[in-house]
Amino acid sequence: MRLVLILILATASVSQGATTLEWSSLLRKVYDQNSDLQSLVRSRDAAQYQRSAVKSDYMPSLFAFGDRTREEQETSLLNKDLTTDTYGLKASWNLFNGFSTYNTVRKYNFEERQAESQIRTKMADLRYDLRRAYFQMLISQRAQRTWSKLLRLQTDQLSVVQIKYNNGGEALWSVELSKANVEVTKATIELEVNNFNTAKKDVEVLLGEPLPEEIILNDDIDSQLKMNVKGEVTDAHPDLMFLQDQVNEAWADSAIQKAGFSPNLRANLQWAKAKPEDQETVNDNRFSLTLTLPLFEGFSTINQTSRTRAVALSREFTLRDSRLRLLKNVEQARSLFVANLTYLRAKELEVKATNMWSGTIEKQYRLGVRKYSDWDQAQTKMITSERDYLKSLRDTLDSRITLEKALAVTEAL
């Protein structure tokens, strides 16, 4: 009874000064401090800037210039070199380059999308890691309450058996067995405390900072289990989007290489003033259209085009296999979760029934109708059902978050 009182007082003390942890706040902190996730965000930003930079090739280039040229005049009567100063504006515009710019923009757009998919996948992975540790803390917290309740029952049983033994109404082995049961339950509570602290350290690693010594978790396990895990595998899954964008990037790269077979048309304009030495300033305005057509480059363009096409085809096979594998993994995870949940519901009924049975046998023992072995058997069955229920609860929650990870579930914060 003294141990029970200590546990009650300790619980009351913790509740008064403890910090309540909220799931959304924890997840937000994990996202904010995770270096891998932040690196992926910066990679996405870099891809955005690169795409914007390539788009500038659609626009004409305009720049100011100034130069001085010196021309030898060997045929001149005075045999004097001619110096000319020229200054003004030049504009250049690539009118056609075989759609190279268009496909380059597409390529970097697909790279940006890949980075976005990687961000979503990383967020789902971090959510899984945190959710797993968080649920372990919740289960250990609930298990401590369950085993503390059982400890009170076993301590009460030991007191009753001890009194009967002292009055000559019970054998010594019944007292020793009751003591052993109490010690086993105490050890189980310590084990759950250790499980709680281990899960707490896992959360702290993800947060990158220590949690308060005294914390309270909102036990919403039952409500979580009532919520359906919605979602099917579609092309919007980040893993499939990443692979699809890799395929698209490879085909865009192949189109860029094919542009090497195409003609190139460039317009050049110049608005300038020229001032030959000892002469009047004159206009030096020019306009030109330059058309180039590659005829032979040592088969470089052919080989590069073939290489990028092979890469694209290889990635298409990878995408197909990954889609089938993902569908299989999600189906298996969903099936396991449903099976575990069904088993958990059955264990809940068993716990309720064994508690009723044990309570009935206890009353009959106190009245002298039942033997100690009957009470011990009923109580052992009740404890076993409680232990099995907690294990089933762990398995069910673990299979649930495994299914969520397979579906790449994330949360809007």
Contact 182, 4 (CB under 8 A): no
Pairing of strands 215-217, 19-21: parallel
Contact 330, 407 (CB under 8 A): yes
Say which CATH class 2-62+98-263+299-406 falls into: mainly alpha
Give me the amino acid identity at 32.
D
pLDDT at residue 335 is higher than 50: yes
Closest CA to 89 of 57, 49, 61, 47: 61
Pairing of strands 82-96, 264-276: antiparallel
Look at the pTM and tell me if it is higher than 0.75. Answer: yes
Which of 11-20, 147-156, 337-346 shows the lowest mean pLDDT across its residues?
Answer: 11-20
Q: What is the pLDDT of residue 20?
A: 86
Contact 242, 114 (CB under 8 A): yes
At 219, is the pLDDT very low, low, confident or very high (cuts 50, 70, 90)? confident
Determine whether 1 is exposed, middle or buried from the number of CB atoms within 10 Å of its CB (0-12, 13-18, 19+).
Answer: exposed
Torsion of CA 232, 234, 236, 241, to 10 degrees: 130
Percent of the chain clearing pLDDT 90 (strictly above): 65
Percent of the chain clearing pLDDT 70 (strictly above): 93
Quick: pLDDT tens for 243-297.
Answer: 999 999 999 999 988 888 888 899 999 999 988 887 888 888 999 998 888 888 7
At 42, is the pLDDT very low, low, confident or very high (cuts 50, 70, 90)? very high
Cα separation, 129 vs 203, whole angstroms: 8
Quick: pLDDT tens for 282-320.
Answer: 888 999 998 888 888 778 888 988 999 999 999 999 999
pLDDT at residue 6 is higher than 50: no
Contact 242, 408 (CB under 8 A): no
Quick: pLDDT tens for 55-105.
Answer: 888 888 999 989 988 877 665 555 567 788 898 999 998 888 888 889 999
